[in-house]
Amino acid sequence: MPNTLSEKIILSHLADKATHLPKAGEPISIHIDQTLTQDATGTMAYLQFETMGLSRVKSELSVSYVDHNTLQEDYKNQDDHRYLQSVAAKYGIWFSRAGNGICHQVHLECFGAPGKTLLGADSHTPTGGALGMLAIGSGGLDVALAMGGAAFDLLMPEIIGVRLSGKLTGGTSAKDVILDLLRRETVKGGVGAIYEYFGEGIAGLSVTERASITNMGAELGATSSIFPSDEKTKVFLEDRGRGGLWKELSADAGAVYKRVIDIDLSALRPLAACPHSPDNIKPVSELAGLPVDQVVIGSCTNSSLDDLAAVAVIVSGKTVHPRVSAGVACGSRTTLLAAEKAGILSELLRAGFRVLECACGPCIGMGFAPKSGGVSLRTFNRNFKGRSGSADAGVYLVSPQTAAAAAISAVFTDLAGENITMPDTRPFLLQSQRFSSDMLISPLSPEEAKNIEIERGPNIKPCPISTPIADKVDLPVLFKGGDNISTDDIMPAGAKVLPFRSNIPEISKFVFSALSPDFYQKAKKAGSGLIIGGVNYGQGSSREHAALAPMYLGVKIVAAKSFARIHKANLINYGILPLTFINPEDYDLIQTDDILEFKDLHQLLEKKSGDGQLEILNRTNGKRISLVLQAGENEAQILRSGGRIPHMKGN
């Protein structure tokens, strides 16, 4: 039976060696070769790993990156970095120092390998799919378990084929491919799916262009995205001194996809994701002339050397418009060094770009916020309301080319059809590769690691543990949200909140702070409660704090029309029941502050062999509502124990 590339990698990594391919939607467990964490999710992940009592990680390769919390307004960020560095030294983990770059870019450059599985505590981990690896984002606890040697549980994804034909034309870029897909598929179109790219059009895309596409597959809600490993992959790996890892990988001839989406690259035109969602897509031609206040190049989506080169070519000899504030945050230090050698960096500086450090920076609201009510064009992947740091700013997600044109003209400018001649950047990249390992600290030998003391600053607090839910509970509705509530809505990021990522009692004060400023007080007063959501509840980031902090505040249940994959797994890991409305219109029968009565919950969680259905009563209006627990038997047991950690302790 011919298989897709994703199926082949899954088959070779199934924990229970099966000869047949699992059906889409069936629970599967896969062996994880590599893991990654970043500093904002890593502290909790390693606190959990420490409790496992192992002397060393069991994964083939694990890397701990520092790229999110690098503002260091006070001791907190640095304390976290030191904690992470000492944990890496103690447990056999690579450590990428602050300033070395964004986890996904550095991992692509230094560690990613075709055919491997990668589990990362960051939703954009699928960036690695550009190298033909199966890279999946998850909560930190799942990564901790994978470092401990456990297989990763997920539902067998549907494999959606994306057939690329033709060639990108002047003014368009790989970013427009993924924006076009977001236009067609929406932010929930990929839940439970892997997007697998094939067709003659892929040969024209470099690995870093492919990485812009696989990176932003996260915005489709997809489990992952993947490209074949071909000649372009070989060149990429050889240029980085890792050619020995290359192997050719693609789908078998005649492989069957759930469905196939056709994209003709030659027909694409520049696109923009308009405020406040990555799937709110418009052609740049429709926005042409709209004034722009800020332009930022960077993030894990678009900060390769060729992205910077495209910007430099467009702004060459010109100056950033006086009405525009322009910045560039390079994805990796090696790329920045290459940009310096190629004269790209000096061209950007000359034009008036402000050079930020090689980190997530403005993408996660860590500085460089736009002006009030400003229009910001960013080459990033997310534009949720308020994420930039200015609540009323309008953030548009665009290609480096579109961003560069706006930087000099101060208006949206459609570059479709423009002849942009790109320089050959490869020699400069090759010159800089020898620096790539300078800021990576390799794992210590088990002997050396024995003497390492973990450094624990005062802001690092233990991970709280939840208690099992009672059989019968009356819960007040603490918050009711609409469709596509993001984890940024639930647990905001930004310079003010991120320093508390290793301190759940403190960070919990910010839960729903933008949408429901009194949430914290209300939850504290009630002692326990539930949240109501619409479709795709918990979309966006992998931050388990969006489950952990509500759990800490007593949230026992989230009832929604549907859930985003990673957030649902995080809810289960922390003992919060994710229940789905059987009739979506029942959502209208519940309002904030209503009291809902839940009965026979233990039966629901113990039997689970049943259909998982539950009828509840809204005591405030007397209406009955039907909900279902869509979870496997193992997940139901985890919930019965009050979460994964108490479950493991119980076993």
For residue 363, state whether it binds ligand SF4 (rule: CB under 6 A).
yes
For residue 539, state whether it binds ligand SF4 (rule: CB under 6 A).
no
How many angstroms separate the CA atoms of 480 and 474, rounded? 17
Which phi-psi region, left, alpha or beta, contains residue 162 (left: φ > 0; alpha: ψ -120 to 50)? Answer: beta
For residue 224, state whether it binds ligand MIC (rule: CB under 6 A).
no
Choice between 122 and 307, CB closer to ligand MIC: 122
CB of residue 119 vs ligand SF4: minimum separation in angstroms? 15
- Of the residues 265, 296, 300, 571, which one makes contact with ligand SF4 according to CB under 6 A: 300
- Of the residues 146, 377, 403, 493, which one makes contact with ligand MIC according to CB under 6 A: 493
Contact, 371 vs 148, CB < 8 A?
no
How many angstroms separate the CA atoms of 271 and 350, rounded? 28
Query: From residue 491, how far is each of 41, 140, 205, 224, 513 by CA, in Å?
Result: 13, 15, 36, 23, 8
For residue 110, state whether it binds ligand MIC (rule: CB under 6 A).
no
Contact, 509 vs 521, CB < 8 A?
no
CB of residue 424 vs ligand MIC: minimum separation in angstroms? 32
Angle between helices 565-573 and 140-147 (to 10 degrees): 70
For residue 64, state whether it binds ligand MIC (rule: CB under 6 A).
no
Choice between 122 and 594, CB closer to ligand SF4: 122
Please say whether the dihedral angle defined by the alpha carbons of residues 64, 65, 68 and 74, taken in this order, is positive or negative: positive
x/- letters, 379..398, toward ligand MIC (CB under 6 A): ---x----------------
Among ligand SF4, ligand MIC, none, residue 180 binds (CB under 5-8 Å by kind): none
Choice between 91 and 384, CB closer to ligand SF4: 384
CB of residue 135 vs ligand MIC: minimum separation in angstroms? 13
Element (DSSP H or E) covering residue 272: strand 271-273
Among ligand MIC, ligand SF4, none, residue 102 binds (CB under 5-8 Å by kind): ligand SF4
For residue 504, state whether it binds ligand MIC (rule: CB under 6 A).
no
Which region among 18-26, 357-365, 437-445, 636-644 touches ligand SF4 (by CB under 6 A)? 357-365
Which region among 358-366, 387-395, 458-466, 582-590 touches ligand SF4 (by CB under 6 A)? 358-366
Residues 374-403 that bind ligand SF4 (CB under 6 A): 381
How many angstroms separate the CA atoms of 499 and 460, rounded? 10
Q: Are strands 117-120 and 34-37 parallel, antiparallel or unpaired?
A: parallel
Choice between 382 and 385, CB closer to ligand MIC: 382
* Residue of 590, 487, 473 whose CA lies nearest to 546: 487
* Residue of 274, 347, 266 whose CA lies nearest to 305: 347
How big is the site for ligand SF4, counted in residues (CB under 6 A)? 10
Q: What is the 3-state secondary structure (H, E, C) of 72-123?
A: CCCHHHHHHHHHHHHHHHHHCCEEECCCCECHHHHHHHHCCCCCCEEEECCC
Q: Are strands 152-155 and 27-30 parallel, antiparallel or unpaired?
A: antiparallel
Choice between 127 and 573, CB closer to ligand SF4: 127
For residue 511, state whether it binds ligand SF4 (rule: CB under 6 A).
no
Contact, 314 vs 420, CB < 8 A?
yes
Among ligand MIC, ligand SF4, none, residue 543 binds (CB under 5-8 Å by kind): ligand MIC
For residue 364, state whether it binds ligand MIC (rule: CB under 6 A).
yes
Among ligand SF4, ligand MIC, none, residue 41 binds (CB under 5-8 Å by kind): ligand MIC
Phi, psi of 538 (to 5 degrees): 85, 25
For residue 124, state whether it binds ligand MIC (rule: CB under 6 A).
yes
Q: Read off the tokens for 291.
A: 């004034």
List, by residue number, the catalytic residues.
67-68, 122, 382, 541, 543
CB of residue 493 vs ligand MIC: minimum separation in angstroms? 6
Q: Taking the CA atoms of the chain, what radius of gyration do you get in angstroms? A: 24
For residue 63, state whether it binds ligand MIC (rule: CB under 6 A).
no
CB of residue 356 vs ligand MIC: minimum separation in angstroms? 16
Q: Read off the tokens for 424.
A: 């050959």
Contact, 456 vs 500, CB < 8 A?
no
CB of residue 278 vs ligand MIC: minimum separation in angstroms? 11
Choice between 300 and 439, CB closer to ligand MIC: 300
How big is the site for ligand MIC, counted in residues (CB under 6 A)? 13
CB of residue 634 vs ligand MIC: minimum separation in angstroms? 24
Choice between 309 and 363, CB closer to ligand SF4: 363
CB of residue 341 vs ligand MIC: minimum separation in angstroms? 29
Choice between 103 and 406, CB closer to ligand SF4: 103
Which region among 166-174, 360-368, 480-488, 515-523 touches ligand SF4 (by CB under 6 A)? 360-368
Collapsing DSSP states into helix, strand and coil, what is residue 474? strand
For residue 102, state whether it binds ligand SF4 (rule: CB under 6 A).
yes
Choice between 487 and 618, CB closer to ligand SF4: 487
Q: Helices then strands (H, E): number in the chain?
A: 23, 26
Phi, psi of 110 (to 5 degrees): -110, -20
Contact, 547 vs 576, CB < 8 A?
yes
Other C-beta atoms lying within 10 Å of the C-beta of residue 449: 17
User: Residues in the chain, how many?
Assistant: 651
For residue 507, state whether it binds ligand SF4 (rule: CB under 6 A).
no
Q: Read off the tokens for 243.
A: 């050619």
Q: Read off the tokens for 502.
A: 């290793």
Contact, 87 vs 55, CB < 8 A?
no
For residue 564, state whether it binds ligand MIC (rule: CB under 6 A).
no
- Of the residues 122, 180, 306, 635, which one makes contact with ligand MIC according to CB under 6 A: 122
Contacts of 19 (CB under 8 A, 6+ apart): none
How many angstroms separate the CA atoms of 354 and 366, rounded? 15
How many angstroms separate the CA atoms of 224 and 133, rounded? 10
Among ligand MIC, ligand SF4, none, residue 513 binds (CB under 5-8 Å by kind): none
- Of the residues 4, 41, 459, 484, which one makes contact with ligand MIC according to CB under 6 A: 41
CB of residue 15 vs ligand SF4: minimum separation in angstroms? 28
Choice between 232 and 543, CB closer to ligand MIC: 543
Reading across the β-sheet that carries 134-137, which strands appear in turn?
134-137, 117-120, 34-37, 61-65, 94-96, 440-441
Choice between 382 and 644, CB closer to ligand MIC: 382
* Residue of 485, 479, 645, 505 whose CA lies nearest to 567: 485
Binding-site ranges for ligand SF4 (CB under 6 A): 68, 102, 122, 124, 299-300, 360, 363-364, 381
Binding-site ranges for ligand MIC (CB under 6 A): 40-41, 68, 122-124, 364, 382, 493, 540-543
